[in-house]
Amino acid sequence: MKKTATRTGYFALRLQPSLMEEARKVAKAEGVAVNQLTTSPLLRGISVRTEEYFAERVARGDPEKARQLLTRAGKGNPPLSGDALPARSPRRRR
């Protein structure tokens, strides 16, 4: 199995001692590390930005140009080995 290296960034966060103590208490009560406690709000903020990014991209999109591009895609290129879709297995009833 191939292992992938993870890069970690470090950021020094200066907190008042009383705030750090409260963060430790909350993290302990939730069973997480202080690092995880502080990372969660950052991830929520980034996810909001991701939604905005895609909304901006959609607004710039031109459906007609996309249709033209897709119409030309693959023309003149024969299928390659492995291009076929796998056979579908029968659906299971629940």
Burial zone of 34 (CB within 10 Å; 0-12 exposed, 13-18 middle, 19+ buried) = middle
Answer whether residue 12 is part of any domain: no
Domain total of the chain: 1
Answer whether residue 85 is part of any domain: no
Domain around 46:
17-70
Instruction: Record the pTM.
Output: 0.45
Question: Residue 84: helix, strand or coil by DSSP?
Answer: coil
Q: Which tens digits make up the pLDDT trace of 6-61?
A: 777 888 889 999 999 999 999 999 999 999 998 888 888 888 889 899 999 999 99
Answer whether residue 37 is part of any domain: yes
Answer whether residue 29 is part of any domain: yes
Q: CB under 8 Å to 64, separation ≥6 — which residues?
A: none
Pairwise CA distance, residues 25 & 2, whole Å: 38
